[in-house]
Every structure is written in C-alpha cells, then in structure tokens.
Amino acid sequence: MNSINGITFKEMLAGGVKALELNRALIDELNVFPVPDGDTGTNMSLTVTTAMREVGLTDTEELDKTALAFSKGALKGARGNSGVILSQIFKGFAIALDNKTELNAKLFAEALKKGTEIAYGAVTKPKEGTILTVVRVMGENAVKFAKGRNVDFLVFLKQVIEAGEQILAKTPEMLPILAKAGVVDAGGRGLLTIIEGFYSVLAGEEIKMIRDDAVRPAALTVNASGAVVKEDDILVNDYDNITFQYCTEFFITHLNSTTTSSNIDKFRDYLMTIGDCVLVIGDLELVKTHVHTNHPDLALKHALKLGELDGVKIENMVEQNRKIKGEDSKNTKKVPEKDFGMVSVCAGDGLSAIFKDLMVDVVVEGGQTMNPSVYDILGAINSVGAKNVYVLPNNPNIIFAAEQAKELADVNVYVIPTTCSPEGISAALAFSPDLTAEENFENMKASFAGVKTVEVTHAVRNTRMNGFSVKEGDIIAISGKKIVAKSTSITEATLASVRKICTDCDMVTMYYGEGVTESEAAHVAEVISEEYPDLEVATYYGGQPHYYYILSAE
C-alpha cells in the first residue's frame, strides 16, 4: 500500500477519533495540573469529535475536502490548550493536502511538518516536552522514513509511531514535573493515540486500550542533559497559588470589515499582558481564542473590537482545583472571624501602604487604566473574613464592578462610592468599630462630601475642552471630569490647579506618583506654601502611575 484515497483517509480519521475516545479517561489521568485545561484526554476527544462531525456534514469522499472539513471542525470544537494545538496540527494537514487526491508517505510527512510549523507558531511560549515536541520529532523522522520510491504507507506509519513513542518516553526528561508524577506528557500521548488509530484502521486491527507502560514509564533518573535528577531538583506544582485564575475561551465571528490580520496580532499581544497560555488562531472569518487570565472581562471587551463573540467559556481553575482535591466547598468556606473589614482599590505602592495603615484589610491593585474585575473584588471581599465588608472603589469606573461583587458575596457588603484615592482615605478615616454597620456606611459616605481633588497628568492626544486647547504632551490638571489647568510645566499646572480648588480651604494634601522624586514634591509644596502661607501643605508618596500628583483640598 503506497497511498490512500479520500475514502480511506476519512476512515482513518474516524479510527483516530475512536481511539482517543476509548482512551480519554486514561489520558486524563496523566494530568499533572488539576485545572480545566488539565483534562487533556477529554479536551482532545471533544475537539476531534466535533471535527469528525464537520466531516460528516460535508458528505465528501475527496481527500482535500475531508482534510479541510476536519481542520475547520477541530478549530470550532477546540477545547483547552491541547485541543487548540491539535486543531493547528490538522490545519497543517489541510494546507498540505490542498488539491491532492492521494496521500502517500511523502505527503503525510509534509503534513506533519506543516502542522508542526503552524502549531509552534500559534503558541506564544512553546515548551518542549509537550505535544509540540512529539509532533515535531514525528515530522522530522517522517521525512527520513518517506525517502525513496514506493514507500509502503503502512510500514512508514508504523515507523512514525515508533519515533513518536520514543520521544514521548523522553518528555519527563524535558519537564521534571512529569518525572515527579511518573507520567509522560498527556497531549503527546493523545496525539500518538490518534495516529495509532489511523494505523489500526489501515492494518485492519482492533482499536485497543493503551498499554500502561505507554503512559507510565519506569521512573527516570536522568534529565535531558544526562545528569541525575534529584528529588529537590524536580518542580512541584503549587496548586494553591495559580497565577491566572480563569481559563477563558471563545470565538470571534463575523469580524468587522475594518479588522485586519494586524489587528488580530495586536489582540494576541494584548492578551499576553493580562495572562498566559495565550492562543489566538484563525483568520478573518473565524478566530479561536484561549487565555488564562484574572480579567476575562478585559479579554472579551477587546475581542468585541474585532467582531462578534460566540462559544464563550470561562472556567475557574482555582475552584476546579478544589473539586479535584475533593474539598467540600461548604466545609472550606471561610467563617467570618470579625465584625468589620475594609477593601480598597488603588494603584501605587505608596497609596496601598497608606490604606493598610488605615486598617484596610485588602488592597486590590487597580485604577484609571487598570480596572479590576468583579471577581478580583469578590475574591478580596471573601478573603477579609468579616461579617461586614466596606469596599472603597476609588474610581467611578470601578463602582459598578464593586456593586456586582456585592451581589455575589456571602457576607454583608457596603460599597462606598468613592471616585478617587483621597475620597477613599477620608472614608477609611471615618470608620469606627464602635458604630453599627449602617452607621459606619452613612458616615463613610458623608466623609468625603467636602473633599476637592485634582489629578495632574499629561495629555495623550490633542483636544479642546473646558476652554483649553490641549496638545499631546501638555501637562494638565483634572478635577472631576473637567480640565482646570494646563501648562508645559508640572509645577505650574499643579500651582494653577491649587488656585482653582483651594478657595476657603485650610489644608492641601499632595500624593506624588512614580517618576516624581521626594525633593521635587517638596519643591512644589514649598512653592504652594509661599503663595498660600496660611495653607497647610502635606506631601506623601503615592507611587501611582500616569499621574504626577493627586491633590486633596479640605
């Protein structure tokens, strides 16, 4: 048998799907990270099952059309990292088999190589010792095995599988955590299972369960460099400290007419700033997205700029970890240990320290350009361990998210509608443990009614507003939503803003941001004091990004 046609290729694909489904649970057991993405066997099985369903809908017997339908179906059904990578491998098959009617060893090798190229390109940080390594090594060996005339396809495929088995057995040497668990890589095992299904169909053999020694090799004692692996050298999974909590997947469909490939690339780059395990694949017709992030809302928001969303799936990997560990959520729920607690949102290590000095229990990082999600705030509320929790959003764009978190919380939550850090500081100062929850709520809301605030920053674009003609780079002072001063000098803009807000005030507090030195802040305070000798001026390090000064006048 030197080549196969479209009908046989379709049967091979069906055999691969069947083999993977038969061994799905066993491949799941290879997982070394108990989170949704860790269900490798299930994710890969769902991916190829959807792909096979797409082939059935086309009702074609042509090789290239079958490969294309399987590829498109795999992308639509891709689940988790493993499923997405698998879909890219079969995209390589579709490209290599385009306009082809017969599949021989040489063409199969080209398909594996193309699939490898596309799969590696789809992963932002390719890691060896995974499915990527397995497909790459199989492709490299396939090229060697396909050399010559009249290569028997069945013999060739057996050789490719053996090469895959050999590199799969070495994956624990590349990823010590696999060695620690005594297993091979689950994604690589899943891919080989599919190829073995191909072989079983061609050889007329029964599709069987994977041998135990094919998933749990003998304990390895050397690493990829040949050095002895010591217990202390092996990485241990820190299941309780997952960096990015939400496994987020969705499709971008019906892309806008103005969306370009460059926009998709920029979207991928953006996701890398808010998470990891980023995969953004597809074309101007359909884009599959996968990311681990603490801000799924931001991922969806930016995706909507490209087109419509479909198939949105967000899974809490921390909660999944709890379930896998067999913890009863009712039993593990934190019992409130105290009556009152406070949560504050702010940007800047100086402001964060100030809030903590004011007995704020948890400070959530966030601000004007970095709004925390509902679940960020909810997590902070739940971590306080109090029956009544006061939330200080300190930004008008965060108040709604805080209100949403309030609805999801298991304790009493009071959202104080603070729109900036100085208002939050006034509210925190107004809290008294001797008052009731409602009394504190009313006092904290009323505490910042007379506070006047100004933020000094630089303009990021040209505009005309509030009687000012502003150019990009100008120093501007903003109070509320209005520009109150403009200058080319930070000191002059700050002084001009003080003139606007310090009428009938006794004190002004300045919080200086990152990039501003203590001596520079002291100089600005001195200039203000010289002009307003009766005005008390205090300076504190805020460390806030983007804003040179945040001023509070009372």
* CA 160/CA 333 separation, integer angstroms: 51
Residue pair 179/32 in contact by the 8 Å Cβ criterion: no
For residues 171 and 190, give the distance between their C-alpha atoms in angstroms, rounded to a whole number. Answer: 14
pLDDT of residue 226: 39
pLDDT greater at residue 317 or residue 477: 477
Tell which residue, 218, 195, 243, has the closest CA to residue 93.
195
Under 8 Å CB-to-CB from 79, ≥6 apart: which residues?
A: 42, 43, 44, 46, 47, 249
* pLDDT at site 466: 82
Structure tokens at 496: 């001009």
Any idea what DSSP says for residue 207?
A: P
Using the structure block, give the residue that is written with the tokens 């496994």. Answer: 247
pTM of the model: 0.51
AA identity, residue 377: I
Predicted local distance difference test score (pLDDT) of residue 237 = 37
pLDDT at 93: 95
* SS3 state at 343: strand
What pLDDT digit, counting tens, does each position of 423-463 carry?
Answer: 999 999 999 999 999 999 999 999 998 889 999 988 877 88
DSSP codes of every residue in 242-303? -SS-EEEEEEEES--TT--HHHHHHHHHHHHHHEEEEEEEE-SSEEEEEEEES-HHHHHHHH
Q: Which residues contact 516 (CB under 8 A, 6 or more apart)?
A: 490, 548, 549
Cβ neighbours for 477, distance < 8 A, ≥ 6 positions apart: 454, 455, 456, 483, 484, 485, 486, 493, 494, 496, 497, 500
Number of CB atoms found within 10 A of residue 138's CB: 29
**With 80 as the cut, is the pLDDT of residue 26 above it?**
yes
Alpha-carbon distance of 84 to 297, in angstroms, equals: 21
Residues 6+ apart with CB under 8 A from 173: 129, 179, 220, 222, 223, 224
Model confidence at 166, pLDDT cuts 50, 70, 90, reads: very high
Residue 332 confidence (pLDDT) = 46
The torsion defined by the Cα of 170, 174, 178 and 183, in degrees rounded to 10, comes to -10
Angle, nearest 10°, between helix axes 105-122 and 131-145?
A: 150
**Quick one: pLDDT band at residue 465, thresholds 50, 70, 90?**
confident
Q: Map residue 450 onto helix, strand or coil.
A: coil
Spatial contact of 89 and 78, defined as CB atoms under 8 Å apart: no
Could you give the domains of the chain?
3-234 (1.25.40.340), 240-324 (3.30.70), 336-446 (3.40.50.510), 452-553 (3.30.1180)
pLDDT interval class at 368 (50, 70, 90): low
Q: What pLDDT does 114 receive?
A: 95
What residues have CB less than 8 Å from 233, skipping those under 6 apart?
A: 176, 223
Query: In terms of pLDDT, which residue wins out, 388 or 279?
Result: 388
Closest residue by Cα to residue 273 from 344, 370, 373:
370
Q: Within 10 Å of residue 91's Cβ, how many Cβ atoms?
A: 24
Q: Report d(CA 358, CA 418) in Å as an integer.
A: 16
User: Could you tell me the two tokens for 537?
Assistant: 């001026």
Residue-level pLDDT at 290: 86
Task: Report phi then psi at 499, rounded to 5.
Answer: -60, -30
Of the candidates 15, 98, 7, the one whose C-alpha atom is nearest the C-alpha of residue 59 is: 7
C-alpha distance from residue 47 to each of 78, 86, 189 (Å): 5, 8, 15
Phi, psi of 326, deg, nearest 5: 80, 20
Mean pLDDT (whole number) for 256-265: 92
